[in-house]
């Protein structure tokens, strides 16, 4: 009888412990998703001469690299 009682207490403790761990893991996994779900991403397009020149004869990766470079330069100038 004592063994059965001890075994049932251990099983219940393991069950509730695993349930608590799974709930906290689920909460942590979906926290970032909740933070981003209601936000819109605004993309600013620049009409500079450098970008227009690169569109003529370069591939799309070069265009994206040029846009990214200009965006990062704008961001760093705003921070300063």
| Angle subtended at Cα 41 by Cα 75 and Cα 74, rounded to the nearest 5 degrees | 10
| CA atoms of 36 and 31, how far apart (whole Å) | 9
Q: Are 45 and 74 in contact (CB under 8 A)?
A: no
Residue 76 vs residue 54, higher pLDDT: 76
Banded model confidence at residue 78, pLDDT cuts 50, 70, 90: confident
| CA atoms of 18 and 1, how far apart (whole Å) | 26
Query: Is the pLDDT confidence value at 4 over 60?
Result: yes
Query: Coil, strand or helix: which one is 10?
Result: helix
């Amino acid at each position: 009888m004592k063994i059965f009682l001890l075994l049932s207490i251990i099983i219940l403790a393991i069950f509730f412990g695993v349930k608590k761990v799974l709930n906290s893991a689920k909460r942590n996994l979906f926290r970032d998703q909740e933070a981003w779900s209601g936000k819109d991403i605004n993309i600013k397009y620049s009409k500079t001469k450098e970008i227009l020149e690169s569109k003529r004869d370069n591939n799309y990766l070069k265009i994206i690299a040029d846009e990214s470079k200009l965006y990062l330069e704008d961001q760093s100038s705003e921070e300063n």
